[in-house]
Structure 1
Amino acid sequence: MIQDTSGQDIIKQANTSSKLKLPAIFGIVALLVSGLVWSSMDSDSIATSIKRSELRFATLERGTLVRDIPTTGKIVAANAPVLYSPEQGSVTLIAKPGDTVAQGDIVASIESHKLTNNLKQQQALLEGMRSSLERARLDARRQQLKAQQTLDMAKVDLEAADRESRRGDQLIESKLISKIDFEKSKDDLQKAKLLFAHAGQEAQLMKDTLSFELKNTALEVQRQALVVNELERQVAALNIKAPVAGIIGNWLTEQKARIAQSQPILTVVDLSAFEAELAVPESYADELGIGMAVELSFGSVMVMGELASISPEVRNREVTARVRFEQSDSLQLRQNQRLSARVLLEHRPNVLMVKRGAFVTSGGGQQVYVMHDDIAEKTAIQLGARSMSHIEVIQGGEVGDVWVTSSIEPFNKAEQVLVR
């Protein structure tokens, strides 16, 4: 009787080759899967590779972004007045370009015969009026003397009439004179009083009249003196003086030339005070403001200043701005010396930022390649405020991300690129 089939089973021992079959199968499957993944990718992405040495990289970080305007400029004299001709005439240029002058030195003169002759005529007229004033004073004294003489004579006549009137009073009491003679003495007394009063009024009126006439004559003399003073000032101004200490700039006319009034003659450059003149692109004109900090670079020397003035007009798509800064002998500044500058617009703390690079212009500020190990992947981004060295990242990045900051044109718009 057969109970089961155990008697038919044969026990076999596993050999070494069968143990290795299973790992080999898994390896082959992994290779096949990898091949399928690589073959499924676009030919424009991972199939492209770029050498690492041809690229530039930067890591995103947080910090304070100083938004600024990079520009260039030159050193100019803060005070370089232009001297003009005060009158029409022939000019004589005394100081030459480059000569050092002190304040008040005569640098040019104008020869104006018309003005000098007019001055002499007015001076002669003034002397004549002064002589007339002195003559009027003498005549006034003579007329006052006559009026005083008339007043004194009237006073004497009054005293004589008063004395005759008192004697008449005594004689009438004694009836030694007639009543007619007595009344005549009273009339003479009254007449003498009237003459004395009128003589006093006449003397006072004469005094007031002479004082008024003398005052008018004196005012005419003063008026003429003002005319002479003005002409003397104009003649003195024909000697043109340096308003500041410095050097002579350029001649703006020829030697011994016939020039008109208010025509420019020459410039005087004040070397004791310099300013920086910057050419700022007109796109930044609305952001400029008086008092903004400016960083000036004279080679390896850096100086801080502030905006002192901004031109209201645009020339060659640029706005001219003046910067005032502290000066020292160590700077050794010269007129028209070139410099570079940064106008500091604002400080933004705690900003996600990255160093500037060619990716901003080549990608239009909207695309960048972000490194993931050895793979550069195209990523959409949004950028914000920009400075001379950094640019703000609004979207598309995090702290620690590594971006390709060089131009993205070599990537040929591929989604992924191998960086080797």
Structure 2
Amino acid sequence: MDRVISTATQQRRRLRRWLGAGSGLLLLVAGLLAFRGILQPSLERSRILTAPVETGDVEASLTAAGVIIPAREAVITSPILSTIRRVAVAVGSPVQPGQTIVELDRELTSSALAKLQDEQQQNRNKNDQLRLSLEKALNDFRSQEQVQQVKVRSLQSALRDEQYLLKIGGGTSESVRQAELTLKVAELELQRLREQISNQRAANAADVRELGFTMQIQDRSIQELAAKLAQANISSQQPGVLTWVSEDLGATVQAGDILARVADLSRFRVRATISDAYADALHLQDSVVVRINGTDLRGTISTISPAVDKGVVTFYATLTQDHHPALRANLRADVFVVTKALHNVTRVKNGPFYQGGQEQAVFVVQAGKATRRTVQFGSSNLDYVQITSGLRPGEEVIISDTKDFLDTPELTLQD
């Protein structure tokens, strides 16, 4: 026989059904929330870098590799063919003008100098002999001239006598003509002797000049070799620091071989290289920024090499602060050649997020989320990227690498 269920029992059953339904609903909501979390990726704030969008200057630039070098460096070469006897100064030591850096063996050059001096003495003896010989020849001609002059005067007197005899009837016209002819021949001979004397003087002077030129050339050779011999103890003409020296004792060096380098380390400049693809973008007096261990120094391009070596162009830049404490010889530096300067534009710090194009997606941070947004970019350098559209000053952008989330419209940022 069926019994009537009590009211209390019915209430307990309804309560259990409601609790079961509520538990199921809670489980469903929790599942939906978990599924949504799976569909919407998240990032930890501590693992990303962000930067604010701001207004400022952007200098578009080309990046080159640079090396700091002394503004002035003297290259000291060997004046003679010799061997290295002694190195008197160690690399890195200061040197003063006239201080010996390297000593060379001077024996070979001394022998060559002595040979030149002996040859010059022979030339002097030849010069004396030549003068005596030429003077003797000239004196012979002068003696012949004097004899001929006497002969001419005698013939002139004989002609006058024949003319007088003809006048008083004691002579003949034939005798007068013969006397005139003999005198004419003697005068021509005298004229020939005078021309020979003049020619001899000119020839003598030419021979003396020729030997004199030979002696002058020899004198210069002696002086040059003596000067080179005096420079065999290699020294600097300017104060500075010895940055390099050939230390191969006994090694043979040719005239013109580099033996040492002395630099003035109080002033510096920059030698930089860049791909030849950017050669047309380089101009004299273009502004450059030289970055050394976080310190930026400004300067201008002073020299551009006209030749391309292995696909790179070399140029030199002078620095406004060429004595800055951060400058050290042979220190590597980043060199940025400024091609365009933009002022008061919207910009954001450069970072891994920027792929170098004119348009790309970035993530804008707001209210604990990062929303993807397409942004237009302009000029850029190592520090900043110009924003032409898509972002406003004051907004915050993720500048870390986000290429793994480019297809995700929104990211959750976890603290």
| TM-score normalised per structure 2 | 0.73
Is 1:68 equivalent to 2:61 in the alignment? yes
Residue correspondence of structure 1 range 5-404 to structure 2 within 5 A: 44-45=38-39, 47-52=40-45, 54-69=47-62, 73-93=66-86, 95-97=88-90, 98-102=93-97, 108-109=103-104, 111=106, 112-113=108-109, 115-172=112-169, 177=170, 179-180=171-172, 183-240=174-231, 242=235, 244-245=237-238, 246-271=240-265, 273-278=267-272, 287-296=281-290, 303-310=297-304, 312-313=307-308, 320-326=314-320, 331=325, 334-337=328-331, 341-349=335-343, 351-360=345-354, 366-394=360-388, 396-404=390-398
User: Structure 2 unaligned runs (5+)?
Assistant: 1-28
How far apart, CA to CA, are the structure 1 residues paired with 2:366 and 2:215? Answer: 96
How far apart, CA to CA, are the structure 1 residues paired with 2:277 and 2:182? Answer: 102
Shift of 1:52: 4.5
Give the share of equivalent positions with the same residue, in percent.
18
Shift of 1:67: 1.5
How far apart, CA to CA, are the structure 1 residues paired with 2:282 and 2:211? Answer: 58
The superposition leaves residues 289-309 of structure 1 with CA deviations (integer Å, 9 ceiling, x where unpaired) of: 332212345678754211223
How far apart, CA to CA, are the structure 1 residues paired with 2:294 and 2:249? Answer: 43
How far apart, CA to CA, are the structure 1 residues paired with 2:326 and 2:390? Answer: 48
Could you say if the C-alpha distance between residues 94 and 54 of structure 1 is closer, same or farther in structure 2, counting changes exceeding 3 Å? closer
Aligned counterpart in structure 2 of residue 405 of structure 1, from 383, 399, 403 = 399
Whether the 8 Å CA contact 1:93–1:109 is kept in 2: the answer is yes
Shift of 1:66: 1.0
How far apart, CA to CA, are the structure 1 residues paired with 2:190 and 2:351? Answer: 110
Could you say if the C-alpha distance between residues 393 and 236 of structure 1 is closer, same or farther in structure 2, counting changes exceeding 3 Å? same
What secondary structure, in the 3-state scheme, does the structure 1 residue paired with 2:165 have? helix
The superposition leaves residues 48-78 of structure 1 with CA deviations (integer Å, 9 ceiling, x where unpaired) of: 4445455443343454321134666443123
Shift of 1:195: 0.6
What secondary structure, in the 3-state scheme, does the structure 2 residue paired with 1:58 have? strand
Q: Which residue of 2 aligns with 1:25?
A: none
Whether the 8 Å CA contact 1:151–1:200 is kept in 2: the answer is no
Shift of 1:389: 1.8
User: Structure 1 unaligned runs (5+)?
Assistant: 1-34
What secondary structure, in the 3-state scheme, does the structure 2 residue paired with 1:203 have? helix
The superposition leaves residues 18-74 of structure 1 with CA deviations (integer Å, 9 ceiling, x where unpaired) of: xxxxxxxxxxxxxxxxx8xx87x96555x4444545544334345432113466644
How far apart, CA to CA, are the structure 1 residues paired with 2:213 and 2:376? Answer: 80
How far apart, CA to CA, are the structure 1 residues paired with 2:275 and 2:183? Answer: 101
| TM-score normalised per structure 1 | 0.72
The superposition leaves residues 186-224 of structure 1 with CA deviations (integer Å, 9 ceiling, x where unpaired) of: 522431232123212322223213422431342133134
How far apart, CA to CA, are the structure 1 residues paired with 2:224 and 2:148? Answer: 51
Whether the 8 Å CA contact 1:295–1:304 is kept in 2: the answer is yes
Q: Which amino acid aligns with 2:178?
A: D
